[in-house]
Structure 1
Amino acid sequence: MNNTTETPVTVIGLGRMGQALASTFLKAGHPTTVWNRTASKADQLVAEGALLAPTVSDALKSGSLTIVCVTDYQAMHRLLGADDIELDGMTLVNLTSGDSAQAREAAQWAEQRGARYLDGAIMAIPPAIGTAEATILHSGPQADFEAHKATLDALGTVTYLGADHGLASLYDVAGLAMMWSVLNAWLQGTALLRTAGVDAVTYAPFAQQIAAGVAEWLPRHAEQVDSSSFPAEVASLETHVRSMAHLIEESEAVGVNTELPKLIKAMADRAIAAGHGGEQYSVLIEEFSQPRND
């Protein structure tokens, strides 16, 4: 394979993220071809040295590696599924947001057309692209990932998850679940403390300390989840539920929303009713693993 500074790259889709991806490849020394339905979005990139392809077909022919970052999977299929598009022998890295089923279907579709296909997810905002803070997840055939890792490394902290094309999407939404859960918990606590005149800036360092401490529990809880054995090494679920009730009562007393703590307690109450009250908190994986329609 050529030296990474000589590896040509094509970027299809020039929203804010696509522009950041293309600009980063250029700065890393890669000849970069771009295409976007609205060609004017390429103006700055062209000024930086990118080549603007007149058509998607031309863009695909210009690079040994094509990065796709468009609105959704439907848009990708519309662009790359046209009769005049030749994908045979090409490597596609799809960084478009979607779900795991769409990723697996896209992989099958691409492979039927002779393309090598990696699915990915960007865990970063556009300004972070090209820094270690940008985590880029990839899933699909490992050989295809390894063949282009040196080029993809320009984008940030590049991670390979496994052969299942759906893994990047699943990790993406699992990360979002963590993000929103931490932020919502912090906002619940902030709302409580504001009733006593404590502002968010004052509470934030304490909240960070608690979040970091809880994060340290995860490996041991993970062992319990994987072994389906939940001995109460620290505190039983029944003990946690008593604290949940206290949180709800305190929130009601000071006039703060109780939807979040009531939701958490409802799940714990169901687990206790199923006979898990004496087990550790991680036993709630049984509740999270069950679909509910209400």
Structure 2
Amino acid sequence: MTGLTGIVPILLTPFTANGTIDYGSLRLEVDAMLEAGVHGIGIAIGSEIFKLTLQERRAMLSAVADQVEGQMPVIMNVSAPGTHVAVQLATEAAEAGATRLMIWPPDFFPSGPDAVIEHLDQIASATGLPIVLQDVPQAPIPPALALRIADAVPLVDTIKVETQPTVAQVQAMTTAVGDKLAILGGAGGGTLVEEFRRGARGTMPFASQAREFMQVWNALCAGNFDTAATLVEAEILPVSRLGFQSGDLFYHIHKALLVQRRIFKSAYVRPPTSQPDAITAKELDHMVQRVAANTQKHKELT
């Protein structure tokens, strides 16, 4: 099977207290990904990409690509409601060092299957880069359409499944596309074990838990499903459960984890954002302390 597989974390964008990109922290974050041995890294919704200017997108991508130096794929989300805009974003991403693109279908106005295929074909033709197709709630991709896209646009070789319920969607996608597309899970990665059993060959979680996801992945690849499930339940799900309670709380939680690990200097999230209320703030502090204790336990065992 061709395509993207394994653990491919989405970077969180570190900001200073006044909201500018903190490139020193970004470098530490990429170092952590390299040290964890992940299979690629991405810049996408989990990176607050929709809050970055075009100049910031290019500068951040260029900094990441320069640091990675070809050691792993660098994926850039270039989704846009218009084909001309998406083509421009894709071209600039290729020039800045992206080795793959990630795209969901235009979602501002619903478009039919033929229009979606034409949209993707123009992007592929403009860049020559392989594409991760993104199946998201705002622009769902039925399995039959995924198969049509795979046949019509050969550079689309991977699909990231995020429409709910992801486990059932992964199974339906596997049945429809066979080995024509590599299938990745998404939506935080909390159901990776179940998705793996049904044909997913990786996931794209937040970079804050890259080490934990690599432990799960290694267990899955070794056939140790019970170990993988235990790791997910102990390390992944508590963070996901809190992070997806409301709005964009997940940004605050995952950035707080990176601050605790001394990778980020600040957990600043660009506005607009839903700030944690008093109860949630206490829960967040408790979660960070719990993760810190687990990290220390892991260091002592190794």
TM interval, short-chain normalised: 0.3 to 0.5
TM-score normalised per structure 1: 0.35
Bigger RCO of structures 1 and 2 (CA < 8 A, at least 6 apart): 2
TM-score normalised per structure 2: 0.34
Q: Highest CA radius of gyration, 1 or 2?
A: 1
